[in-house]
Amino acid sequence: MEFLQLHYFLKDELHSVDAFINNKAEYELLRIFKEVTNILDLEGELQFETIAIEEGGIKAFYKILSKKKNKRRIKNALIYLAGILSVIISDVVSDQINTDHEYEKLKKEEIQLRIEQLKRELENEEASEDEKTLVIENLSVYIAETNKVKLFKSNFYSTLLKEEKIEHVSTQRLNENLEPITNENIVPRKDFDKFILHSVDIDPDYKESEIIEIVSPVLKKGNMKWKGIYNDLPISFYMRDGEFLTSVINKEISFSNGTSIIADIEFEQKMNDDGEIEIGTISIFNVTDVFEDSKRIETKRKRRNRELRNQTKMDFDNENE
């Protein structure tokens, strides 16, 4: 059993803060705790308890307890969890959400692989304390790179900025007697902004030449959503291909049960308050083909693009003769 101490340093030797701000900050802190325990596969193996807040600024103590009675089976990641949390909360890694969809996917996979490797290294009983300390520091850095942890830290520090009395905040690992095991990690108020995300917009996920089955087209002018099926899932979307839309309104293209199109599809993305990526508006661009029954119909756009490519090739060949 050990403790994580969170110490709010207040100006003018004050000993109280706004209760709503304090509760909101603690809520974000607990979300960090929960996400880190999930990443370390410790969910269900421990519990967090709080004990009385002390003055001297304000000191909050979080008791970290293992639910397992057999201590020989306790993971080192749990034993050193207070130290990991202390580093994550107080160290600046990045103040930006990874917004590119493909990069974020690769980055997430890379981070997860590195975290798994460091977790294995931490469980190595032959490692010295210095080696374990280095592993904890590296593990903390990689965990702090995950988007959810960044978001919850951002919320935590932006909440603290609303309380003008707070001048510094620090974290520290304590033993069961509330004696320091590590030095305090101190973050001055002037550095709070380094943790705050000023934009959490996620770049759209854009896919080319996808098949979308049309369930309910819009056959008249207006900014109404079409309905379709994409990858066996129902979707509602806006048709952004104006030329194709005009062909539909002019009844040059008809729809029946099972009619599908080939087009580019864009998924707007956003991050919700829980750090999860959600799909926003879906839009369709560049319709090239329509499948009606067993018949494949090329759109005007595709025919025009093919003719342009052929003409360009002919001009190029003529130049080389």
pLDDT digits (tens, 9 = 90+) for 207-245: 999 999 999 999 888 889 999 999 999 999 999 999 999
Q: Is the pLDDT of residue 111 over 80?
A: no
Q: What average pLDDT is seen over the chain? A: 83
Q: Which of 10-19, 103-112, 190-199 bottoms out in mean pLDDT, i.e. has the lowest?
A: 103-112
Stretch (H or E) spanning 65: strand 58-66
118 Ramachandran zone, left/alpha/beta (phi>0; psi -120 to 50):
alpha
CA–CA gap between residue 104 and residue 122 (Å, rounded): 26
Give domain limits for the chain: 2-195, 201-319
Over residues 101-111, mean pLDDT: 65
Kindly report the backbone phi and psi dihedral angles of residue 38, in degrees, each rounded to the nearest multiple of 5, phi listed first.
Answer: -65, -45
Over residues 39-53, mean pLDDT: 79
Architecture of domain 201-319: Beta Barrel (2.40)
pLDDT digits (tens, 9 = 90+) for 59-83: 888 888 777 654 545 567 777 888 8
Cα–Cα distance list, 82 to 48, 64, 88 (Å): 11, 7, 10
pLDDT range class, residue 141, cuts 50, 70, 90: confident
